[in-house]
Amino acid sequence: MDQTTVISIILTSIAAFLVQVFSLALLIFIQIQHILMGILAIQKFLLFFFPDLEKSLTVTVEEAKNYLKILYFLVSLICCGFISVAIYYLFVGRDTDGIAIG
């Protein structure tokens, strides 16, 4: 194998890794948006039918920032956990008999 082939394989591997990282980031962003849309829909529903709850449903900007940080952390943790388990079972996962699970 010559040097240009090795370099092209390395660059292709790096590009594939970057695409996977950006795909994971986009997946997390979209999941957060869906969760926020659901929360806002529930809030609007409650405010429409129960206007007395307005004081308890109102969130300040600082509280919203904190909730977003926690939400991003939890969703990222869950996504990375699922990916880690999938990778484990794909490459390492074997039962006690030595037969592949997947």
Query: Is it the case that residue 13 has pLDDT exceeding 80?
Result: yes
Nearest to 73 by CA among 11, 28, 15: 28
Domain containing 38 equals: 3-91
Position 76 scores a pLDDT of 87
Position 33 scores a pLDDT of 93
What span, in angstroms and rounded, lies between the C-alpha atoms of 91 and 86?
A: 9
Tally of domains in the chain: 1
Residue 33 in any domain: the answer is: yes
Residue 99 in any domain: the answer is: no
Position 49 scores a pLDDT of 95
Query: Is it the case that residue 3 has pLDDT exceeding 80?
Result: yes
3-class SS of residue 82: helix
Residue 66 in any domain: the answer is: yes
Residue 15 in any domain: the answer is: yes
Query: Is it the case that residue 102 has pLDDT exceeding 60?
Result: no
Express each pLDDT in 38-93 by its tens digit. 999 999 999 999 999 999 888 899 999 999 999 999 988 888 887 777 777 777 76
Q: What's the predicted TM-score (pTM) here? A: 0.69
Residue 50 in any domain: the answer is: yes
Residue 96 in any domain: the answer is: no
Residue 35 in any domain: the answer is: yes
Q: How many residues does the chain have?
A: 102
Residue 100 in any domain: the answer is: no
